[in-house]
Structure 1
Amino acid sequence: MDEKKRIWYKVLDNKKELPEGRVKTVTAAHKGICLTHFEGKFSALDNRCPHQGGPLGEGSIENGMLRCPWHGWDFHPCTGLPPGGYDDGIETFEVKEEGEAIFVGVPEEAEHETTVSDIMAETMVNWGVTKVFGMVGHSNLGFADAMKRQEQKGKLNFYGIRHEGAAAFAASAYGKLTGKPAACFSIAGPGATNMFTGMWDAKVDRAPLLALTGQVATQVVGTGNFQEVDLVQAFGSVAEFNHRVQSDSKHSELMSLAIKHAILKRDVSHLTFPDEVQERKAKPNAKPQTPEKRITSLEIAPPKESVKDAVNLIKKSKRPVIIIGHGARAHKKAIIKFAESLNAPVVTTFKGKGLIPDNHPLGGGVLGRSGTPIASWFMNESDVLIVFGASFSNHTGITPKKPIIQVDFDPLALSKFHKVEVAVWGEISRTLEIFESELEDGVDTIDQTNEIAERWKIWRSEKAKRLLETSDDGVSSIAVFDAMDQLTPEDAVMCVDVGNNAYSFGRYFESKEHDFLMSGYLGSIGFALPASIGAWTAVGSSRPVVAVAGDGGLCQYLAEITTLVKYNMPVKLIVLNNHELGKISKEQRAGEFDVWKTSLSNPNFADFAVSCGAWGKRVEKQEDLMKTMKSLFEQPGPAVLEVITDVNLI
């Protein structure tokens, strides 16, 4: 080896770390080395067995020969030569001793050559996908290495999670909050299939998401190879854009189209990367793409006829009520301004909770099963409903018995379940501009603000009565959310789980400048904690992030508390622990079934949080609730408050 091209690396601080007759794996730069100590001599061999790639440093010296741990082939510990004169020996490297330290000389590494993964990762970043949640593993290492280079340049943040399902939920939550895609990332086989639920959560709630999966090498596809799953076929039902990256693909174009589909269709895109493609050298003329002049404005004006019909119906109205769904999240300011021009109450779906603050003079709270009697009262007293970005699900309970004007960007969402009087297809803010122009001569609606205030007074009086209900079995949910009303930062991002805790949250917690994230249409238990990870990566230190979960949901992704600690995410997690899947018990009773198999055996969640490195406290008595919750919100880092609650006081 040319001395000028040899670089010496210290691989042992003290040679006593490797006794006579032993071997170990060490690293010199990026080169894996099998370091041996045999017959008083230290030797360095390539760590990769030439047959199956087994790690020789995990082998052993038997009868004077180094034995591969994978298939038992023998090599001399110093020369790397096999017995019998075979020509499949192992490359060796020079070793020198300086004092007690051991150094290995390896050739200077060649400058990194741009790979297919580099082109695609840079294209991804150029399109604004800068947050990735996932797990690095054997079938995605090439693309992971490309993302590492983007992170080293300060262009990307990668968050290693404990379960790929949490990665997909975190990416879904990020998309719901920002309207922009994040990526979830996994290996082939089980790592990829673990992401399926979170991908569906994004799809049905219309959140853009990019899923990136490793895949086994193309040459072994179809042979039943280890962790081989046809991921394109597997994700065919969930991914709107769904392709395998091939050696001769137009790589930057493929990534651009994946992200473009996710953004414009508010849907899931999936790319899977065969192992051998990830490290393939990019073509000399290959360049990463940008979104410049590749994506159109979505400010689509509605048809004139539907505008005319909607305006005529509004002009006739005396008691209009506006309903906002999650699909109108980006347009809440424009909708509230429009409501103020009509003096119309604004109520929301549960997924749309917080799109108008409950302390706004026109705020009427949440409609439906997780809602308040205020919202349903105004809906029933209205003479026209103006609905923006809502899906009309059964849980929301928008009545078809009132005249309805429905505005949505998705024509398939219009009149989805039943006829509406006026279906208006258009971008919501643009549609509102046209409505306001057409109504500039004024409307003759009743000012309902005094009625709204009166209805809130009645409901708050009822909440105060329920707050007096106590139990020896635990704190009431009403008390938990009353304390949260008083202590939660007014601009927090609230991540909600599924179950009785969510119903109580929707009913009792009064929104201010909060944003709410939940698993809406899919209704997936376990959403809250992973969602808080995605939310924090979106807002950073600019806003607090709070997760509210039941004991059943939290246990599904309990280990992600360690993710909060690892990245010092100051999420505040409130756990309502009633040792039961309370929502299921309630449904069993409602269906006149026996309550069966819904009891839970739980850890002490507060102690678990402390064992992970977070702050944790448990509350068992109502009189301790306010003080301890105040301490929760004072913590600078991740913190968990566990409240023992009575399953019957919801």
Structure 2
Amino acid sequence: MFKKTAGEKLIDLLIEWGVDHIYGMPGDSINSIIEPLRKKQDKIKFIQVRHEEAGALAAAAYAKLTGKLGVCMAIAGPGAIHLLNGLYDAKLDKVPVLAITGQIESDLIGTDFFQEVNLERMFDDVAVYNQRIMSAEQLPAVVNQAIRTAYTKKGVAVLTVPDDIPRFEVEAEARITSSLVVKQEILPSTENLQQAKEVLENAESPVILAGKGVHGVRETLLAFAEHIAAPIVLTLPGKGAIPDEHPYCLGGLGLIGTKAAYEAMQETDTLIMIGTSYPFTGFLPKKAKTIHIDIDPAQIGKRYPVDVGLAGEAGKTLEWLSQHVSRNDNRTFLERSQERMQKWWDRLNRQEDDESVPIKPQRVIHALRQVAHDDAVLSVDVGNVTVWVARHFRMTNQQFIISSWLATLGCGLPGAIAGKIAYPKKQVFAICGDGGFAMTMADFVTAVKYDLPIIVIVLNNHKIAMIKFEQEVMGNIEFGTDLFNPNFADYANICGGVGYRVEKPEELLPALQKAVQQNKPCIIDVIVDAQEAPMPAKITFAQAAGYSKHMFKELFEEGKLDLPGS
């Protein structure tokens, strides 16, 4: 009877789990895995990336978009080290990812051999499951346990595979387990639900803060909001859970948020947090009864004091509350919030209509809205670009992904690659700053190689602009933020894609319209105003004072300030 090698068994198990592609780069310590992977390319594709970090970021983005396991692979030593940034992104945003790394041969471990790194120790903090394969017989059970743990704990599983193990045959006595994960429905305790009911019965000005946990329960959330007359504020990972221009939506909160959301938080008497562990507690109410709904009991009360905790699924919990809590017919607070939100939209419209040169970044996002389909995928990088997209792209049914908790530059392009692999028939955009795009731009050729017609929009201001603004708000003169950029449109053409350079407002929409008609990866290099600061909706005295201090410093150093007697 034909026996499979451990490498062959590994690939078969991945296929059994529904994995249809792996991001990675081949090399000596994983060649015994690459060979059986090559033989199964009809069932599981190998996506060769140019940097392992991009592969791990793409795997994390794939998991965010689909809920399925993202898989990446790297050699021992440097390749495995390169995975860490993307794996931490997956860890902090709580999505299932499997990392398979090579290792030197078993009998060489501990001898300080070439490229030997203690990978189990290195991955210990990032992983919910972290195991070195010790034998061919052990491999099947460990692979199943790794993937099952990644799914159930919504985190990173790491398998370190010494180079010799994949070549050994899996003997008949190998432990056999199941390649499945079981789902469950979770409802909070009756006692806690009754406590929440009492709080909501007395609420006069309730506000909902909705996060990542409300994706997929749009109608249930909106029905609950209508029932208790509560406007909805969205965290950044929650963006897109409901349409941005829905009458109940007040947009985001914090530095990327809206004035209507800020004022609602200042006035509310009851805060209902749903599926979020919002970290910026300075923007939350100082005095309000608080109900926190989360599927993970450990998140409830973790960052902000709560009166009632409801440990359960958002959809099931909201259905119960809508059925048992009396309808709130007092719409005064809701209507006041809606009026404020309309004023906010009017303000954004004026910013988007600005025709000045250099182009205002707000205008770029407005133009993007005009060409993006209702089901488009938006992979957004970190920096000022996050602010512009969060505020100015008015989501309907699009998908929005970002490096939320790690906030790592360079996530935009790998996310778009993963988006096009996940949804080949949908429009996929990467919206990046020049700093973020430059970090992973080598993998634009990956999109070309695998015929992935993504559209990369680069907001090019030759600055690490958010850091410039942060330095100025601290009262400092900007330093170390200038960037020397190539022509990104020319770069696209050199790589085999299509590039458009946009320097005037009237060139913007035509470039986007041409790009979405292309069947090749595109880069739209837009020269935007470096002086356009991402001002928060509500400016604090400290921020204003710091900015003024920065202006005085600049004037002093440049000799432009005339002092008495000078």
Mapped pair 1:500 → 2:384: yes
Query: Are the structure 2 counterparts of residues 634 and 342 from structure 1 closer, same or farther at C-alpha, using a change threshold of 3 Å?
Result: farther
C-alpha contact (below 8 Å) 2:141/2:175 kept by paired residues: no
Distance 1:451 1:158 in 2: 54
- Distance in structure 2 (CA, Å) of the matches to 1:233 and 1:311: 47
Write the deviation string for residues 248-268 of structure 1: whole angstroms up to 9, x where unpaired.
552221011101111111111
| Equivalent residue number for residue 144 of structure 1 | 34
Residues 383-392 or 571-580, more deviating = 383-392
- Secondary structure in 2 matching 1:133: strand
Alpha carbons 2:277, 2:303 under 8 Å: kept: no
Q: Residue type of the partner of 2:256?
A: S
| TM-score (norm: length of structure 1) | 0.78
Further displaced range: 395-404 or 206-215: 395-404
Aligned to 1:482: 366
Conserved? CA contact 1:471–1:646, under 8 Å: no
Q: Which of the residues 13, 23, 27 maps onto 1:123?
A: 13
Contact 2:268 2:285 in 1 (8 A): no
> 1:267 matched to which residue of 2?
155
CA distance in structure 1 between the partners assigned to 2:176 and 2:258 by the alignment = 51
Amino acid at match of 2:84: F
Q: Does 1:550 align with 2:433?
A: yes
Report deviation, 1:585: 1.1
Whether 1:598 aligns to 2:481 is yes
C-alpha displacement at 1:565, in angstroms?
A: 0.8
Letter in 1 for 2:404: G
Deviation of the 1:209 alpha carbon: 0.8
How does 1:368-407 map onto structure 2 within 5 Å?
368-394=254-280, 397-407=283-293
Structure 2 residue aligned with 1:54: none
- Counterparts of 1:325 and 1:553, CA distance in 2: 25
Equivalences for residues 599-638 of structure 1 within 5 A: 599-638=482-521
Counterpart residue type for residue 551 of structure 1: D
**Sequence identity of aligned pairs in percent?**
35
Deviations 1:521-579 (Å, cap 9, x if unpaired)?
A: 111011100111122222221x2111100000101111111111111112111000000
Q: 1:408 aligns with which of 294, 298, 311?
A: 294
Please tell me the residue identity of whatever aligns with 1:250. Q
1:32 aligned partner: none
Q: Residue 161 of structure 2 aligns to a residue in which SS? A: strand
2:115 pairs with one of 227, 241, 252: 227
Which whole-Å CA distance do the structure 2 matches of 1:605 and 1:484 have between them? Answer: 18
Counterparts of 2:143 and 2:192, CA distance in 1: 38
Matches within 5 A, 1:284-295: 284=172, 286=174, 289-292=177-180, 295=181
Give 3-state SS (helix, strand or coil) of 1:365's partner.
strand
Partner of 1:81: none
Residues 1:637 and 1:647: Cα distance change in structure 2 (over 3 Å): same
Between 506-515 and 556-565, report the one with greater CA deviation: 506-515
Task: Kindly provide the CA deviation profile for residues 27-61 of structure 1, in whole angstroms up to 9, marking residues without a partner as x.
Answer: xxxxxxxxxxxxxxxxxxxxxxxxxxxxxxxxxxx
- Report the TM-score when normalising by structure 2: 0.90
Going from structure 1 to structure 2, the CA distance change for 1:564 and 1:457 (only over 3 Å counts) comes to same
2:266–2:284: 8 Å Cα contact kept in structure 1?
Answer: no
How far apart in 2 are the matches of 1:314 and 1:453? 21
| Equivalent pairs, count | 533
The corresponding residue for 2:192 is: 306
- 1:337 and 1:251 map into 2 onto residues whose CA distance is 48
- Residue 329 of structure 1 deviates from its aligned partner by 2.3
Report the structure, 1 or 2, having the larger strand content: 1
CA positional deviation for 1:471: 4.7
SS in 2 for 1:193: helix
2:241 to 347, 351, 355: 355
Residue 318 of structure 1: how far off its partner (Å): 2.9
Deviations 1:358-385 (A, max 9, x none): 1322222112211222322333333312
Relative contact order higher in (CA < 8 Å, ≥ 6 apart): 2
Using the TM superposition, name which of 551-560 and 371-380 deviates more: 371-380
Unaligned runs of 5+ in 1: 1-110
CA distance in 2, matches of 1:222, 1:567: 39
Structure 2 regions of 5+ residues with no counterpart?
A: 534-566
Whether 2:530 is the aligned partner of 1:530: answer no
Report if aligned partners of 2:136, 2:170 keep a CA contact under 8 Å in 1: no
- One-letter identity of the residue aligned with 1:272: T
CA contact (8 A) 1:493 1:515 kept: yes
- 1: CA distance, partners of 2:176 / 2:486: 49
Contact 1:126–1:289, Cα closer than 8 Å, also in 2: no
Query: The residue matched to 2:516 in structure 1 has which SS?
Result: helix
CA–CA distance in 2 between the matches of 1:396 and 1:545? 35
Q: Go from structure 1 to structure 2 and tell me whether the alpha carbon gap of 1:248 and 1:609 turns closer, same or farther (over 3 Å shift).
A: closer
Q: CA RMSD in A?
A: 2.1
